Amino acid sequence: MKRGGLGKGLDKLIPDKKIAESENEKKVEVKVEKQIEKVIVKENTGEPLSVKLALIEPNKDQPRSYFDEDALNSLADSIRENGIIEPLVLKKNGSRYIIIAGERRWRAARIAGLKEVPCVILDLTEQATFEAALIENIQRRDLNPIEEANAYKKLKEDYNLSHDEIATKVGKSRSAITNSLRLLGLKKEIQEMLIQEIITEGHGKVLAGIEDLDLQLEIANEIRDNSLSVRETEKLVNKRLNEKDSKKDKKEEINQDLENVYKEAENELKSIFSNKVVIKHNNKNKGKITIEYYNADDFERIMKIIKSGERK
């Protein structure tokens, strides 16, 4: 898959050891759609720096918000045995550091009892920091569908990026970005099902085509209870929407028949009183009839007609 900008991978941001050995401070060119011209990687030997865990803090704008505890504990066991193979990527923040990539490794390192971890320090703008964190998570497939959709939403709303621009940065198609964002229109209960992997992203995309949120949830529960495939879900959704359209058409037909009845009654009353008559009604067959009069004599004339039942 072709990737653009930071979508080429975080490995492109980290200098080769042979290059770094020739200078203490190297500038690495990174294309980020005119957002960043240069990234400065500071280190003395070409190897990652060792940074105290106490000086590292997570990025509040990290796209990923859900971390599986069992998976973290498993990673912590691996770190105790083998150490951290891939360094964290950090950004300087005063006397401390913010994580650009590697929060999962940072969390596991804390569980494992490490005091220091290998890191590479990058000097990035706020937007580039977010983009790098997003891309790293996408490449590792660490984000659930809702986290990914919220990340695209942030790029769109906070940084005014179009769907095409987002697609270029993360190495995906424009339609993939659009379909991902549509997941945020799902009912909250369904979004939670996606996060918990009760239903798949494919199911979510089918459900996103339903405007009725209650119907969305009803079908989502059927997917869960009956282990429906995406194809089976599509058939079920089409069936329910056709049934709904049929009921809607029938209801509209009935309502139109009632409108015709009330319109005929209005015209008949107008011919009897020779005045404007308006009939207002609701769906419960309740309403009111209004007969206009224009002076006292007109009022008396109307009352005589009502009392006598005769047309003047």
How many Cα atoms occupy the beta-carbon half-sphere of 70 within 13 Å?
0
* 3-state secondary structure (DSSP) of residue 207: helix
Cα 291 from Cα 312, distance rounded (Å): 16
- Active site residue: 43, 81, 103, 201, which one? 103
C-alpha 168 chain-centroid distance: 19
Which among 84, 82, 87 has a CA at the least distance from the CA of 11?
87
Strands 88-93 and 116-122: parallel
Tokens 């971390």 map to which residue? 67
Q: Are 233 and 209 in contact (CB under 8 A)?
A: no
State the maximum Cα–Cα separation within the chain, in Å, rounded to a whole number. Answer: 112
Does residue 103 have an active-site annotation? yes
- Asked if 190 and 204 count as a contact pair (C-beta separation under 8 A), the reply is yes
Catalytic residue IDs: 103
